[in-house]
Amino acid sequence: MFNKEKNNIKLNLYLAEAQRKFGEKAKSGSKKLIFGLFVFATVSGMLLQPFSVLKAAGPRFNIFTPYSCTLQYNRDYFIICVKNDTKGTDYATAVSADPGDILTFSVYYHNGVNNTIATNTKLRASIPSATVQMQTLAGFLWADNAENATAASPMSFSNTVNISSSQTLQFISGSAQWFPNQTSPLSDAPATFLFGQSGNEIVGNGINVGDIEGCWEFSGMVNFKVKVSQVIQTPNLNIVKTVKNLTKNEYNFSKSTTANQGDRLAFNLKIDSTGNAAAQNVVVFDQLPSQLSYAAGSTKIDGSPVSDGITSGGINLGSMNQGTSRNVTFEATVNANTTASVTNFGFVMANNVSQKQDTATVCILGIVQNANLVIAKTVRNESNNEFSFSESTNAQEGDTVQFNLKINSTGDAIAQNVMVRDSLPFQLSYIGGSTKVDGVSVADGITSSGINLGSMNPGSVHNVTFEATVTSNTNCTATNTGFVQADNVSQKQDSASVNITQVSKIKDLTIVKQVRNVTENQFQFSDSIGAKPRQTLEFSIKVTSTGNVAINNVIVRDMLPDRLLYIAGSTYVDGFFVSDGITSGGINIGTINAGASKTVTFRVNVEREVLFPRGDTTLINTGFARADEVGEKSDTAQVIVTYSGCSSGENTPANR
């Protein structure tokens, strides 16, 4: 039973293929072939009818997969297949073609569910209108009641036609033929379309082949022919060159613009593919006149940045299909200041299109430009903590003053090789290494040969600062003059003054001696503390310069009382370790400026208990300080040592 049923299905497939062959061969007049197909169809139809086994609730189309475009055992055809009649190819899902070739498309249907009827079965093909090399043509199948193919969601499949050049596919009106009921006896001609249809509906809203019963014997197809156009391929390119002035905020591109030196321009090259075929390997480049300089990194294609090359070897846009456009933009700066009308050329070419060009014009308006410099000299007294600069300040001998030279390029041209120098009066002495330009240190030279600021663009500013020490102690006004000049600007100058007041030099110092108990974790120093034998103490000697000038060679020493032992290596000055000597000849702590202080600290140990009597013992420690031209001064700190045990005398045995 199984083998018989299998053979019947195979016969169905032969029937489908025979139907195709009949449609193609019937017109050849081969009576033998027609008769053979007739007998084959008749016998197959009688055999298949008893063994139909497919059953379902509703009709379903083309359910025997996988599909094929040639006769395959127990398989439906693809919904649509194509062959090249001109080249004699077989049916396939894709075909190659040349201009003028005739193609046949076959749209296939088969209700695979027995005892069902697919009502108002329709077939349709969509032929694309584009002129391209690769064409895609789709076939569609549906019925009012088909479970797997409805008008809203039809079954579909597409064929591909690969053409040797860009062409269109043209439906041959009247070429559609209907081959229904492929197990029925074949006739010399295809069946007439139902409902008065011409067959051209296959490429319109679809052709209605009526109600299709479910079985192989009712399968069929609609064949139609398509011609590949024979349009002569003529690629062509057009270029339009425009410009706008970005510095002047021009919004639209135009064929010309006006500009001044330094203006930034934007150019646009619009490339159109105006032929009926693709332009291959399109290259665009631009020839800038000498008065314009290309702005590196400014080239864009359709708004997307690309590498530079537009003004050198050019840039490749690839191939451009007919009707497409590309916009190439780039920017340039006007580098000339002479009145002139300059023309910028843009070019485009392709492998199959000769060079085309277009121009845009820039009218450069030359203007007379003059460089100019302005210098403003100001001063402030840093020793007096002055914050702002002014045209004058008050100072005394030893004060540090800072000068500022503000250089402003006020012309409309670049000042070339700007030199700044300063002439200090004898009452002031330059402090080496103090010169800065805009806050950055530079080499000395401001008070000798001067320093070079380079070239200064219009509107730019530099600030040159340096420091000096007041060396005079006489009542006077020291006038300091600064100078600036450039290759194209004559020397300019400005002054600031320092009003020096003579003062009497007073040198003096004070000394404050204090102590704290380290063992008892005392943090604060004080004039007097309590202690016990064997504890560690720390003394502080603070020396302050109380005159109006600095004191030099300050010597600090300390005279420890008995029963306090100096701890070697414990001496520090303002937190920095110094060598021992504080309790012997003293230590030199250098210079102390007027109003400033330095603090000397060192540590001692309190002697053991045996050296103290019961009760309190007061130890006085004296510190001393002197300096050049300042006599020695002293201060004391007190340590009260308390011992509650036996005295040294009680530890002595009695006489016998």
The pLDDT tens digits for 53-70 are 344 479 999 999 999 999
What value does the mean pLDDT take over residues 427-433?
95
Closest listed residue to residue 257, CA positions, set 242, 239, 241, 240: 242
pLDDT bin (cut points 50, 70, 90) of residue 646 is low
**pLDDT at site 186:** 41
**pLDDT at site 368:** 74
**What is the Cα–Cα distance from 524 to 641, expressed in whole angstroms?**
18
**What is the Cα–Cα distance from 484 to 86, expressed in whole angstroms?**
91
Tally of residues, the chain: 656
% pLDDT > 90, the chain? 80
Q: Are strands 300-301 and 461-470 parallel, antiparallel or unpaired?
A: unpaired
Q: Where are the domains of the chain?
A: 2-228, 237-364, 378-500, 509-643
Tokens 């189309």 belong to residue: 61
Residue 39 has pLDDT above 60, yes or no: no
Q: Does residue 66 have a cis bond before it (omega within 30 degrees)? A: yes
Q: Which two tokens stand for residue 557?
A: 């020493």
**What is the Cα–Cα distance from 170 to 130, expressed in whole angstroms?**
11
Residue 80 has pLDDT above 70, yes or no: yes
**pLDDT at site 616:** 96
378-500 with 509-643: one CATH topology? yes
Q: What pLDDT digit, counting tens, does each position of 503-526 carry? A: 888 899 999 999 999 999 999 999
Q: What pLDDT digit, counting tens, does each position of 142-174 carry? A: 999 999 999 999 999 999 999 998 899 999 999
Q: What angle do CA 178, 183, 188 make, to 5 degrees?
A: 50
Which CATH architecture best describes the domain 237-364? Sandwich (2.60)
Fold classified for 509-643:
Immunoglobulin-like (2.60.40)
**What is the Cα–Cα distance from 12 to 40, expressed in whole angstroms?**
11
Instruction: Report CA-CA distances (Å) from 351 to 134, 228, 354, 594.
Output: 21, 26, 8, 88
**pLDDT at site 648:** 46
**What is the Cα–Cα distance from 181 to 15, expressed in whole angstroms?**
10
**What is the Cα–Cα distance from 176 to 193, expressed in whole angstroms?**
9
Mean of all residue pLDDT scores within the chain: 89
Closest listed residue to residue 41, CA positions, set 179, 208, 185, 195: 185
**What is the Cα–Cα distance from 596 to 546, expressed in whole angstroms?**
8
Alpha helices in 199-351 (DSSP H): none
**What is the Cα–Cα distance from 621 to 603, expressed in whole angstroms?**
12
Burial string for 174-199 (b: 16+ CB within 10 Å, else e) reads ebbbbbbbbbbebeeebeebeeebeb
CA atoms within 13 A on the CB side of 37: 25
3-state secondary structure of 13: helix
**pLDDT at site 49:** 39
pLDDT bin (cut points 50, 70, 90) of residue 183 is low
Q: Is residue 82 a contact partner of residue 104, using CB atoms and an 8 Å limit?
A: yes
- Select 378-500's CATH number: 2.60.40.740, 3.40.50.150, 1.20.1250.20, 1.10.1840.10: 2.60.40.740
Q: What are phi and psi of 456, to 5 degrees?
A: -120, 120
Q: What pLDDT digit, counting tens, does each position of 260-287 carry? A: 989 999 999 999 999 888 899 999 999 9
Q: Write the burial class of residue 120 (CB in 10 Å: 0-12 exposed, 13-18 middle, 19+ buried).
A: middle
Identify the helix (H) or strand (E) that includes residue 155.
strand 155-167
Q: What pLDDT digit, counting tens, does each position of 590-629 carry? A: 999 999 999 999 999 999 999 999 999 999 999 999 999 9
3-state secondary structure of 239: strand
Q: Is residue 54 a contact partner of residue 210, using CB atoms and an 8 Å limit?
A: no
Q: Are strands 428-430 and 461-470 parallel, antiparallel or unpaired?
A: antiparallel
What value does the mean pLDDT take over residues 424-436?
95
**What is the Cα–Cα distance from 52 to 9, expressed in whole angstroms?**
9
Chain mean position to CA 594: 58
Residue 367 has pLDDT above 80, yes or no: no
**What is the Cα–Cα distance from 395 to 380, expressed in whole angstroms?**
9
Closest listed residue to residue 414, CA positions, set 555, 255, 518, 261: 261
Residue 654 has pLDDT above 60, yes or no: no
**What is the Cα–Cα distance from 639 to 616, expressed in whole angstroms?**
10
**pLDDT at site 2:** 27
Q: Which two tokens stand for residue 353?
A: 């299109």
% pLDDT > 70, the chain? 89
**AA identity, residue 449:** S
Tokens 């203007």 belong to residue: 367
**What is the Cα–Cα distance from 344 to 239, expressed in whole angstroms?**
13
Q: What is the CA radius of gyration of the chain?
A: 55
Q: What pLDDT digit, counting tens, does each position of 188-225 carry? A: 579 999 999 999 999 999 999 999 999 999 999 999 99
Q: What pLDDT digit, counting tens, does each position of 534-582 carry? A: 999 999 999 999 998 899 999 999 999 999 999 999 999 999 999 999 9
**For 81-94, what is the HEC assignment?**
EEEECCCCCCCECE
Residues 6 or more apart whose Cβ sits within 8 Å of residue 156:
79, 138, 139, 140, 141
